[in-house]
């Protein structure tokens, strides 16, 4: 069982490195990075040139207790992130799925951000 989990993590990290070779965030078009764990979901918008995080949203935040780690919760988190970006006058981002497969929760976060008005 442990060996299977180690192999799964290794494959995700390999995909992550492969993706990050090609995409990078700038001030005009930052990188929207998604992270999911067994307990929470998290989104960060990063300017890789300056090395700073522009905005973030996570289910760990106090006002996000009602947002669960399901597909519906991920869509809600994506919409919240989209609203935060529009407040900072950012409308286009580069989507970084962070090595996760683009389905389920990851896809729901992206569609939630699109629904809020963010373009990929």
Domain residue ranges in the chain: 2-116
Pairing of strands 94-96, 52-58: unpaired
- pLDDT, one tens digit per residue, over 27-40 is 899 999 999 999 99
- pLDDT, one tens digit per residue, over 39-93 is 999 999 999 999 999 999 999 999 888 888 999 999 999 999 999 999 999 999 9
Secondary structure in 3-state letters for 20-60: HCCCCCCCCCCEEEEEECCCCEEEEEEECCCCEEEEEEECC
How many distinct helices (H) and strands (E) make up the chain?
3, 4
CA distances in angstroms from 48 to 20, 23, 114, listed in the order given: 11, 10, 22
The reported pTM is: 0.88
Domain 2-116 indexed as CATH 3.40.50.300: no
Higher pLDDT pick, 1 / 68: 68
Six token digits for residue 18: 């492969």
Q: How confident is the model at residue 3 (pLDDT cuts 50, 70, 90)?
A: confident
3-class DSSP state of 69 = coil
């Amino acid at each position: 069982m442990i060996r299977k989990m180690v192999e799964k993590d290794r494959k995700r990290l390999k995909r992550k490195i492969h993706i990050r070779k090609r995409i990078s965030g700038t001030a005009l078009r930052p990188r929207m990075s998604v992270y999911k764990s067994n307990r929470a979901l998290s989104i960060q918008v990063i300017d890789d040139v300056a090395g700073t995080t522009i905005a973030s949203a996570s289910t760990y935040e106090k006002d996000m207790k009602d947002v669960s780690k399901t597909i519906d919760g991920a869509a809600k988190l994506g919409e919240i992130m989209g609203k935060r970006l529009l407040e900072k006058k950012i409308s286009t981002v580069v989507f970084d799925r962070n090595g996760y497969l683009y389905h389920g929760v990851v896809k729901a976060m992206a569609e939630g951000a699109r629904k809020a008005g963010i373009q990929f």
